[in-house]
Amino acid sequence: MKECNLSWVFLISFLFLFFDPSSSHLLNSTAEYHHGHTAISDFRVINRRELDDCPDLNPYLEVNISSNSALSNEEYVTVTVSGVLLPAESDWIGMISPSHSDVSNCPQNAWLYLQTGDTSTLPLLCHYPVKGQYMTTDPAYLKCEKKECKKYVKGVCVVTTCSGSLTFHVINIRTDIEFVYFAGGFQTPCILKRSSPVSFANPQMPLYGHLSSVDSTGKSMKLTWVSGDNKTQQVQYAGGKSGTSMVTTFTQDDMCGSKLLPSPAMDFGWHDPGYIHSAVMTDLEPSSTYSYRYGSGSVGWSEQINFKTPPAGGSDELRFLAFGDMGKAPRDPSAEHYIQPGSLLVMKAMAAEVASGNVDSIFHIGDISYATGFLVEWDYFLHLINPVASQVSYMTAIGNHERDYLGSGSVYITPDSGGECGIAYETYFPMPTQGKDKPWYSIEQASVHFTVISTEHDWNEGSEQYKWIQKDLGSVDRAKTPWVIFAGHRPMYSSMKGGLLPVDPDFVKEVEPLLLNNKVDLVLFGHVHNYERTCAVYQSDCKAMPTKDKDGFDTYDNSNYSAPIQAVIGMAGFTLDEFSNNVDNWSLVRVTEFGYVRFHATRQEISVEFVKSDTRQIKDRFRITK
Ligand SMILES: [Fe+2]
């Protein structure tokens, strides 16, 4: 993927689609086009604006940070701006990393950046801030409640200045940071003052360890973590065993895009990921609890963490959680390039589930971090999922926001990954796939065979992935795993309202027959940001309806198999999508709430509950029996 040759055909067709500076209606329609699909935020438009030098000769201005010593791995940093002569509503602070990055005028022409879906026509900051906040977040700032006299004449104060303080949630992103005080708002920023740079106490610290399964035995687990250190480290586990890490990384040159049309990932969104370590813990027992720590004597060790191995394929009982489209959100009042507002509460609720010991594994089926070319956001995402992903297997599928980019071989020609083209995703989440950029795999846990595909790679009949799906589904031993769950990112059935058609009829036409022919029980997709469940459906026809059990819950009888049951579960963080008023009869349940789905599979039954994250209420419940 080192060179993603962006062909002229793509370039011209893309520009034809998006570039018409004279047309304001195009801006609206482009925003609509990208709603829910591509990163746009108020904050992102910073990159489109001309940055003037502020004509501010204020000699009293200072930007001070609460931690002037080295930063810990996670802290809330208070940034105080003092010496302000005239506080304005448009003043704001950006967190920049590494320090001294160029956040002034960028020489590139703005139309090179149309690919991110923003048709603004102005130049940009050359290096994107990690996050930013308006000074008005401090209510005392505009009112100048914190006054200071800077100059006295004959005992009378003749110059009074104001100050304000903001708090930023800072995690160890290895590179040093500084805080930059801007005037002019996000739309027309200019730099007033930069703070002194501040470094992390240990930029090499091993952090953000997360687990995944490498096979269906439940006896091996892979731990993947991030460190600023490129030497091998160790995972020490199960009271005396150890595994040595494989170390990898990716560089700016690995990102997609071209010099002609740089992507966010290869240009203003780049942030050095440090080194990604993976080590496999072996000789474990399935469904068992152990502890581990990771790191090395020279760079430090994580704390001791308890984790659970999943049940072995063929055993009886599995409890897992699944969802799509989670992303992350700031834990302070900052704006970031892309925020998924439901993610924090969904993660909090799932962390409580994992802490209760009732979760064997987790499946996150695409649209993982929404870093989309703003790479520092992967660190924040890994930090967010750490409470669950460090304790149980966190399995993933690839989504459009990890993979798609023009000219990169993705099925859908969109710039949704911001130029990451799956490189960052595959490095952070090394699944037991068929190979590099072949992110499809199967895994068995207890009574369930999971077939996980990429909707972003060719699934047409005859393609490598299609043949693999056919072979994988065809080879399931139902005596060992009575249930087959098929998962990917883009749905086959959705009643989402308006916007782009979320369902690709070609995908349905090619792949749905494989599901029916191989008696797939349940199909899970994301991409659409709500919860929806179907009847037993094939080619949009209900082949069977569930019946009510004694408690009034829908029960599908798969001992008399008719067709797969499909569910969209993309409601874990991204702003929710509304449903259409006119729904087809295959759509049985529709919920527009943030949450996750809880599964309990035995050999006779899968019970499914959609949990609303803020209240933990069950908003839908159904069973499939055999
Ligand atoms: Fe998506």
Rg of the chain's alpha carbons, rounded to an integer?
Answer: 26
Q: Residue 414: which pLDDT band, with cuts at 50, 70 and 90? A: confident
pLDDT of res. 604: 97
Ligand 1 centroid–CA 545 distance in Å is 29
Ligand 1 centroid–CA 401 distance in Å is 6
Ligand 1 centroid–CA 327 distance in Å is 11
Non-local CB neighbours of 408 within 8 Å, separated by 6+ positions = 1, 4, 256, 421
Ligand 1 centroid–CA 465 distance in Å is 19
Ligand 1 centroid–CA 512 distance in Å is 19
Q: Which architecture, in CATH terms, is 313-625?
A: 4-Layer Sandwich (3.60)
- Residue 452: pLDDT over 50: yes
Quick one: tokens of 292? 């581990």
- Residue 206: pLDDT over 80: yes
Ligand 1 centroid–CA 490 distance in Å is 7
Given CA atoms 33, 37, 42, 43 in this order, what sign does their dihedral have?
Answer: negative
Q: Residue 104: which pLDDT band, with cuts at 50, 70 and 90? A: low
Ligand 1 centroid–CA 37 distance in Å is 6
Strand partners, 449: 444, 484
Ligand 1 centroid–CA 436 distance in Å is 21
DSSP string for 358-401: --SEEEEES--S--TT-THHHHHHHHHHHHHHTTSEEEEE--HH
Ligand 1 centroid–CA 591 distance in Å is 18
Question: b or e along 492-520 (b: 16 or more beta carbons within 10 Å of the residue's beta carbon)?
Answer: bbbbbeeeeebbbeebbebbbebbbebeb
- Residue 499: pLDDT over 70: no
**Cα separation, 29 vs 118, whole angstroms:** 11
- Asked if residues 246 and 278 have their Cβ atoms less than 8 Å apart, the reply is yes
Mean pLDDT computed over 404-429: 93
Non-local CB neighbours of 6 within 8 Å, separated by 6+ positions = 256, 257, 258, 260, 261, 406, 407
Ligand 1 centroid–CA 502 distance in Å is 9
Domain boundaries, the chain: 8-194, 313-625
Ligand 1 centroid–CA 338 distance in Å is 14
pLDDT of res. 123: 36
Q: Residue 187: which pLDDT band, with cuts at 50, 70 and 90? A: confident
Neighbours of ion ligand 1 (CB under 5 A): 367, 399-400, 527
**Cα separation, 362 vs 382, whole angstroms:** 15
Ligand 1 centroid–CA 366 distance in Å is 7
- Residue 214: pLDDT over 80: yes
**Cα separation, 422 vs 412, whole angstroms:** 13
Ligand 1 centroid–CA 555 distance in Å is 29
- Asked if residues 209 and 305 have their Cβ atoms less than 8 Å apart, the reply is yes
Ligand 1 centroid–CA 92 distance in Å is 32
**Cα separation, 388 vs 354, whole angstroms:** 6
Ligand 1 centroid–CA 32 distance in Å is 15
pLDDT of res. 33: 33
One-letter amino acid of 401: H
Ramachandran bin of 262, using left for φ above 0, alpha for ψ from -120 to 50, beta for the remaining angles: beta
